[in-house]
Amino acid sequence: MIYIRNKAEALDAVASVLALPERRQQIVQLTVRVAMCLDPSARSFLADCQAGLIEGGLEFMRKRRQEQLAAQQQEAPEAIVIVDSSEDQLLEQVGLALDALRLSEIVRQAFPIIRERHAGWEIARAFLADEEGLRKVVIEAVRAHGAGNSLVYEQDRAEIERRIVSVTPSWGAALPTLEAACEKDLELLSVIAVDDMRATLVTNLLAGSRAEALEYLRSVKTRIDQLHALEAESK
């Protein structure tokens, strides 16, 4: 087995795994490749490919996050952790946004041209709009990449870009205002931008009460940090 040293090699590994006929084989072989990966960034990429393309996508990632939250609460019941998303809907919304952004990185790695043209949050919006349809195209594209089928690969790239453009937000003119409010925190901006309701809320708050807008952004940032800490503890 060859060690994997970067994301480019990781993408090649995913392509070879997706060429296998059975899902069970795909899961086993990708798990092996995760273990053989020497680079932390590439290893995380492989894990996201396994969760996003093979294991079940956003729903699988949501269930995994809920299990991690429940385990943390059981191990440290005194910790302030909201497990029930009905009690902290923002935590669940932020978790969904982060998961969609992870899926977007698969597209950005598979298609350098798309990476140059579109931010991760733009791609994540396309996943949230039609996850099943976009996942099928991405899987086909990664397989085509591995097989050296440039015709199918380019067709898939065009389809993915069409899907990205189709969910271009109507509030696009307000993006510079959101960027300024997020103070160059790209991840915070991305979590806001993937959802029209959040983006519009922040825009409206900024127009009425900047203090309230910044307080809301801090609450989103707190949940981002909480979920990253949870992920780090679970590794």
- pLDDT, one tens digit per residue, over 29-39 is 999 999 999 99
Q: Are residues 132 and 31 in the same domain?
A: no
Q: Are residues 133 and 26 in the same domain?
A: no
Q: Please, which pLDDT band fits residue 62 given cuts at 50, 70 and 90? A: very high
Domain count, the chain: 2
pLDDT at 74: 74
What angle do the packed helices 89-110 and 210-234 form, to 10 degrees?
Answer: 70
Q: Is the pLDDT of residue 186 over 70?
A: yes
pLDDT at 164: 98
Q: How far apart are CA 219 and CA 132, in angstroms?
A: 30
Q: Are residues 60 and 100 in the same domain?
A: yes
Q: Please, which pLDDT band fits residue 19 given cuts at 50, 70 and 90? A: very high
Q: Are residues 98 and 27 in the same domain?
A: no
Domain housing 204: 56-234
Q: Are residues 192 and 113 in the same domain?
A: yes
Q: Are residues 200 and 184 in the same domain?
A: yes
The arithmetic mean of pLDDT across residues 7-24, rounded, is 93
